[in-house]
A and B are shown apart, each in its own frame.
Chain A
Amino acid sequence: MMVDQPKYKTSYEVDFVIIGSGAAGGILAKELSTNGFRVVVLEQGPYLTETDFTHNEVETLAQDKLTNHPRLQPNTFRKTSSEKAKPQRAVLYGRCVGGTSVHFTANFWRFHEIDFIERSKIGPIPGTTFADWPITYADLEPYYTKVEWEIGVSGLAGASPFDPPRSKPYPMPPLPVKSSGVIFERAARKLGWHPFPAPMAILSQPRPGRSACINCGFCLAFGCEVGAKSSSLATAIRMAEKTGRCEIRANSYVHRIETDANGRAIGAVYFDEKRNTHLQKAKAVVVCANGAETPRLLLLSANKQFPNGLANSSGFVGRNLMLNSGGVTVGVFEHPLNDYKGFAVSRVLHDFYELDPQKVGFYGGGGLDARFDLTPISFALNALPPGTPRWGKDFKSALAHYFNRTMEIFCHGTSLPVENNSFSLDPDLKDAWGLPALRMTYKDHPDDLKLWRWQNERARELLDAAGAQKQWSQPVGESQFAVHLLGTCRMGNDPKTSVINGDHRAHDVENLFLCDGSSLVTSGRGQPTMTIEALAFRAGERITALAKRGEIGA
């Protein structure tokens, strides 16, 4: 798969070193190399391809073949900064070429206009750093369209009356509807709501070198064996490699960004597979290591000149972490849905995208989707109705009955930015390389929990209207586990309250750019990756323009 990759010497100063090859990093690699720059991508994880992906649940899920490994890179967690954090797995992300986009669910919603300007509309919210973005939906619209067409997103324009304006339809029709989607659509319409075909970063039609989705049923948490899931691996990375100017250097764990006496970044220091240390020199550094590892890397890069961590004069590096609140309500139906077949989600609704705080009594909004995303062992260990025996004859008959008759309604929603919710360096625990472990501090804003409960009620209303034989919501409780890693190096015009500007350039370091989930100012309503990728396309254009005008220096 690695076609015509150049091999740059570490001592050779490339134009850009990109740290992380995930949703954002893959696209920046493609954009910058296409625009003529010499690029090295340093990725801590292995370079796996379609032939490495399997339907082996034990290997993929239990052994973290595609994901951050709790033994190699352990985390700690605490609720407030007065507590001592305890070792516990706190984050899940993809740790391989393509990053989290390799194994994600692939729900692909654009943010709406409101997401960028909500602070102005609603006013301040006590206890939060709620803010407007320095850019608007209109600024980002062309890049959303670019994402849809270049990497491949299926969906139906105009199907949701709540959709923001778009300049072009989707490049391909929606995926087929599942039984869960039909049940959801019929019941939602009964209630006067507006369900629509889920926009997904999964091909409904083949593209060169990639198959359309074959509905294999091992989708969430698995790598796609046929390239139908529009991960960075299946899309942007391949395009970057084709330029002949981009080297993807896997198994390269960056632990410091080096700066010179003038406070400029000169390159990235990393461990190779054998744990030897190298400095890859570059004219500019672009960090795309996600909302957990980007701030961690900046904090690890503290030095005399930047004692609080690189690019951290605001103190906001690692702060304002947002996760997206989310609840699961489960329904069981009389006849087999066979929802294990296929990808996860086929119908969505956005009627509750923008709730009126005056009416509901809290800030927030979200979307509901219809899905089944559990593979057989996961289902048997975790998803039978409450109170079902855990072994024996009745366990077996419950498995036989429920596996095919179960669907889930997943409620996705806003998280408010709270300054103390953060990623930082654990003072005690070390990772397998002896570096400080990632520490998460998080306590949900009360409004996020209210939204979570409120949406669960809507989900139950829907399942009632659908005639579910049995239904239950998983309990709402304080979050201590993160999948969406957002807001921890936020974008803004004011260097005192943000880490990067609207061009993704660090306020404090002229030739350092950060672009990934950490850039987000607000959380959106649940599916951040479409926006992360649109930002990456836009950042590619901005950075190119700066470089061509000679404004990055060198």
Chain B
Amino acid sequence: MINELSRRTFLLRAGTGISAAWISANWPALLSASKHAHSAAVAANPAKLEFFTPEQATEIDAISARIIPTDELPGAHEAGVLYFIDRGLATFSADDQKTYREGLPELQARVTEMFPNAAKFSSLTLQQQDEVLHSLDENAPSPQRPFRASPGAQSFFETMRQHTIAGFLIDPDFGGNDSGAGWKVIGREREHMFQAPFGFYDRDYAGWQPMPKEADKK
């Protein structure tokens, strides 16, 4: 019950500015269960599956690869997102497992409905796969409410989307983002400490200079 409430919190937010503090308090509740992704997933791939059957794993891998596709840079597949989700789900609350258990057959039904000759999602062309996922994405961005926070985790697709992003970008020490693939994409160096200069604009900074006198306190 309370679980359900905290989950909805994400939807309740009205207009206030999204500060990082707000974000940190209003993470998708579904991520809150992925506790053990950590210890399990530190082990190197190929890892064994704990929750999905091999057949299911193929579909999950294919979906995640449309959410963050592979191009000249690695995508969800290379980052081992499948294993992040699998290990997370092995320790998820029954609720969250349910989203996947019910979501996969729904996905299959949608595939059959849209492409009657196709066997399964992973056997569609990439373009067809995107069409299916668009049809499942109830939360396409709306220009009117650009800052709507990630809507709740009700739908299978939204759950997959958030899990894929988390598995792609989490600190590689904690069970996803294999070999720092996701951080390569966003250009985050995989160091634990940094030194100035940090970026382009502070490179040639000459040091602090007081304001010229005449501009001083009015």
- Which A residues are closer than 8 A to B by beta carbons? 54-59, 61-64, 67, 70-71, 74, 86-89, 92, 105, 156, 159, 161-162, 174, 176-183, 189, 192, 194, 197, 214-218, 220-221, 326-328, 333, 335-342, 344, 373-374, 376-383, 386-393, 395-396, 399-400, 403-404, 410, 452, 472-481, 483
Q: Which residue of A lies closest to B218 (CB)?
A: A161
Q: How far is the CA of A149 from the CA of B215 in the complex (A)?
A: 31
**A contact patch SS:** loop
Q: Which residue of A lies closest to B27 (CB)?
A: A62
Q: Is the beta-carbon distance between A56 and B38 smaller than 8 angstroms?
A: yes
CB distance from A350 to the nearest CB of B (A): 11
Q: Is the beta-carbon distance between A178 and B18 smaller than 8 angstroms?
A: no
Checking A192, A216, A335 against B200 with a beta-carbon cut-off of 8 angstroms, the contacting residue is A335
Which interface class (under 10, 10 to 19, 20 to 34, 35 or more) fits B? 35 or more
Q: Which residue of B lies closest to A217 (CB)?
A: B194
Checking B9, B17, B168, B199 against A339 with a beta-carbon cut-off of 8 angstroms, the contacting residue is B199
Q: Is the beta-carbon distance between B23 and A477 smaller than 8 angstroms?
A: no
CB distance from A216 to the nearest CB of B (A): 6
Q: Is the beta-carbon distance between B13 and A58 smaller than 8 angstroms?
A: no
Q: How far is the CA of A179 from the CA of B199 in the complex (A)?
A: 6
* Candidate in B17, B202, B208, B217 with the most chain A CB atoms within 10 angstroms: B17
Q: Is the beta-carbon distance between A62 and B31 smaller than 8 angstroms?
A: yes
Q: A181-B202, A197-B208 are in contact. List 5 more A-B contacts (CB 8 A).
A: A178-B196, A221-B24, A381-B162, A390-B137, A403-B187
CB distance from A219 to the nearest CB of B (A): 10
Q: How far is the CA of A444 from the CA of B24 in the complex (A)?
A: 22
List B residues 135-174 near A (Cβ within 8 Å): 137, 139-141, 143, 146-147, 149-150, 161-162, 164-166, 168-171, 173-174
Q: Is the beta-carbon distance between A215 and B146 smaller than 8 angstroms?
A: no
Q: Is the beta-carbon distance between A391 and B22 smaller than 8 angstroms?
A: no
Q: Is the beta-carbon distance between B199 and A376 smaller than 8 angstroms?
A: no
Q: Is the beta-carbon distance between A176 and B147 smaller than 8 angstroms?
A: no
Q: Is the beta-carbon distance between B137 and A391 smaller than 8 angstroms?
A: yes
B28 at the interface (CB under 8 A from A): yes
**Given A56-B170, A395-B68, A335:B34 Cβ within 8 A:** no
B210 at the interface (CB under 8 A from A): yes
Q: How far is the CA of A299 from the CA of B190 in the complex (A)?
A: 49
Checking A63, A74, A217 against B5 with a beta-carbon cut-off of 8 angstroms, the contacting residue is A74
B186 at the interface (CB under 8 A from A): yes
Chain B residues with CB under 8 Å of A379's CB are 186
What are 26 sample pairs from A and B whose C-beta atoms fall under 8 A apart?
Answer: A56-B173, A58-B34, A58-B37, A62-B27, A62-B31, A67-B25, A70-B2, A70-B5, A74-B2, A156-B208, A161-B217, A177-B205, A180-B201, A215-B194, A217-B194, A220-B24, A221-B24, A338-B198, A386-B146, A399-B186, A403-B187, A410-B19, A472-B146, A477-B16, A480-B12, A481-B26
Q: How far is the CA of A479 from the CA of B29 in the complex (A)?
A: 21
Q: Which residue of B lies closest to A411 (CB)?
A: B17
CB distance from A311 to the nearest CB of B (A): 29
Q: Is the beta-carbon distance between A92 and B25 smaller than 8 angstroms?
A: yes
B75 at the interface (CB under 8 A from A): yes
Q: How far is the CA of A176 from the CA of B5 in the complex (A)?
A: 43
Q: How far is the CA of A509 from the CA of B196 in the complex (A)?
A: 53
Checking B3, B23, B31, B169 against A382 with a beta-carbon cut-off of 8 angstroms, the contacting residue is B23
Chain A residues with CB under 8 Å of B24's CB are 61, 67, 92, 220-221, 378
